[in-house]
Structure 1
Amino acid sequence: MAEQQETGVDSAQEVVLYNVQDGIATVTMNRPEFNNAQNSKMTYALDAAFRRAVDDDEVKVIILRGSGKHFSAGHDIGTPGRDINQSFDRASLWYDHVNKPGGEFLYVREQEVYLGMCRRWRDLPKPTIAMVQGACVAGGLMLAWVCDMIVASDDAFFSDPVVRMGIPGVEYFAHAFELNPRIAKEFLFLGERMSAERAYQMGMVNRIASRENLEEETYSIAQRIGKMPRMGLALTKQAINHIEDLQGKRAGMDAAFAWHHFAHAHNELISGDKLGGYDAKAMADSQRTPGEVRSGEAQNK
């Protein structure tokens, strides 16, 4: 909401940082106090940063990372900076969602800021690497999955717990491509954390490093990729993405997006809440292992 933007949260800091060095653009999500939960302000800032990297001929590789303890706790469903009712200069040709009735409100917004942007980022012509530490939860998965490679710390974990809301996974529904379909069902049905080691075994993660060596390992890979010719990298990426789409990735995602929004409408009808009665705290609590103490910094996962 607009009035929530006036609380001072996010207003005094850049929610996305951008830096280029030695042909590598680093795009950093910068809401560590909320575990890099993504509000619209962050999403549009990410879009601008990726565009900036694509337009810069000196940039060969892009690294996406999160500041603080966690990569990303997912979509912002409960911080003071939540801005779901705020208008932004849109990146697609979809009209503004604000003040639209019924299911149109969320359907239009999520076509723009979730499905549309993630698809565009996946197809940008330069190699991208997600550097993941700590939590990569729900909407955080979407940010990691659009990248060409994922390098994770050994203490990283991945989860999509939104089935407990009655929703069939996040909007960028790549689960059955990132994981074997039977493992994808387990991942969603249980909503439990998947360790970096198991994600590596499933082929979702390319490399694992200790938290201390994560940055060194990620940038070393980026430097080696950056020695390849730009056009060769772009065409290779385009070819592999095209094969995924021929296998049904895009069509399947369209269907899953429709089911996702049926779930929102169903939740609204039976409970009055599009998220099935879950708020940020409840979703964070659902992700904790037995005996894990709740901390203030984790409440927005």
Structure 2
Amino acid sequence: MTYETITYELRGAIGLLTLNRPERLNAISQQMIDELNDLLDAVEKDEAVRVLVVAGAGRAFCSGFDLKDGADTPKQGVADWRPVLQRDFDIIMRFWHLSRPTIAAVQGYCLAGGCELAMACDITIAAEGTRFGEPELRFGSGIVALLLPWLSGPKKAKELLLTGNDKVTAEEALEMGMINRVVPAGQELDASLAMARDIAVMDRAAVAMTKQAINRTYDAMGMREALNMALDVDVQIESMETPEGKMFAEISRRDGLKAAIAWRDARFGGGPEKG
């Protein structure tokens, strides 16, 4: 399959996947989801790949799911929203469940679904200056993969999600447990590849089984069930057509996404204040 929204290369035992829509801050489109699924299927079958590193082209890791994707065909009710949000959820969680270790090399903006994808990777290394956040509630939307409480704890998760803070620094994300390391800007990919090489020399079966054992620990604590219940809530939120969500969608269709985001931020004085 020829890819248009991602690139992939094999560097020894390390697969390097790059989200490649820099003009859209690597927003995840339906086409990107299809290409990611195809590639991840291939990685599962390729015994040469021991670790998968995920990066983003340009000035962002990923800005989330592409809000322009399908904007011309408005969705109504659970029947319309369920398959769309299930598709989004499944692609994020593929990085959590992949039999190979996954490492996210993050820079620039890492927001919404992009933030969830980075958290779903086993290890996340961020450049100084990276901005994290999940602002979905600010325009009447919900969280597709509610991973944050499992990494940061309920207090910080509620603070970030209920305020829609999308200006979380890399240092703050590290303190909260969202990421593993902060490195100087421009060194995030090299640092991720170096860690990948350390993992790649380990016994492949032992690494895969240990990752699975850690994931099963979270399953035993109820994570899988909780994520599915949170997805049900997201479906309900999107299906409700709240006034904020309807206005955001209307402005986006009429005036473009930038205008809709400007309207959203203006309602909150330009964004959450830091204290």
Superposition TM-score, scaled by structure 1 size: 0.79
Structure 1 runs of 4+ with >4 Å offset: 98-101, 274-278, 284-292
The answer to whether structure 1 residue 50 and structure 2 residue 23 are counterparts is no
- Judged with a 3 Å threshold, the aligned counterparts in structure 2 of structure 1 residues 241 and 139 are, in CA distance, closer, same or farther, namely same
More helix by share: 2
Matched, 1:283 2:261: yes
RMSD over aligned Cα atoms: 2.8
Structure 1, unmatched stretches of 5+, are 1-11, 86-97, 293-301
Deviation at 1:101, TM superposition (A): 6.6
SS at match of 2:17: strand
> Given the alignment, which residue of 193, 196, 203 partners 1:219?
193
1:149–1:65 distance in 2 versus 1, CA, 3 Å: same
| 1:70-89 correspondence to structure 2 within 5 Å | 70-78=60-68, 82-83=69-70
User: Please, which of 157, 171, 177 is the counterpart of residue 144 of structure 2?
Assistant: 171
Partner residue of 2:83?
108
The separation in 1 between residues aligned to 2:230 and 2:247, in whole angstroms, is: 17
- For 2:230, which of 242, 251, 256 is the aligned residue? 256
CA pair 243-84 structure 1, distance change in 2 beyond 3 A: farther
Matching residue within 43, 62, 79 for 2:52: 62
Matches within 5 A, 1:22-61: 22-61=12-51
Q: Distance in 2 between matches of 1:185 and 1:99?
A: 30
**2-structure distance, mates of 1:22, 1:285:** 47
SS at match of 1:74: coil
Tell me if structure 2 keeps the 8 A contact 1:24–1:222.
Answer: yes
Flag the 1:120–1:40 CA change in 2: closer, same or farther, 3 A.
same
* Alpha carbons 2:135, 2:161 under 8 Å: kept: yes
Summarize the alignment of residues 128-139 of structure 1 with structure 2, pairs less than 5 Å apart.
128-139=102-113
1: CA distance, partners of 2:45 / 2:52 = 12
Q: CA deviation at 1:117?
A: 2.6
CA distance in 2, matches of 1:274, 1:236: 47
* SS of aligned partner of 1:69: coil
- Give the counterpart letter for 2:192 in structure 1: T
Give the equivalent residue in structure 2 for 1:246: 220
Q: Could you tell me which of 181, 192, 197 is aligned with 2:154?
A: 181
Please tell me the residue identity of whatever aligns with 1:283: I
Shift of 1:256: 1.1
How far apart are 1:189 and its partner, in Å?
Answer: 1.5
Amino acid at match of 1:76: D
Specify which of 11, 16, 37 is matched with residue 6 of structure 2: 16
Q: Scaled by the length of structure 2, what TM-score is found?
A: 0.87
Identity of counterpart residues, as a percentage?
Answer: 30
Give the Cα–Cα distance (whole angstroms) in 1 for the partners of residues 189 and 233 of structure 2.
38
Q: Indicate the residue corresponding to 1:190 in structure 2.
A: 163
Distance 1:287 1:226 in 2: 44
Distance 1:213 1:117, change over 3 A: closer
Q: Distance in 2 between matches of 1:159 and 1:110?
A: 19
Measure the CA separation in 1 of the matches of 2:232 and 2:209.
Answer: 31
Aligned residues: 263
Would you say 1:122 and 2:96 are equivalent positions? yes
Decide which moves more: 101-110 or 133-142: 101-110
Q: CA deviation at 1:46?
A: 1.1
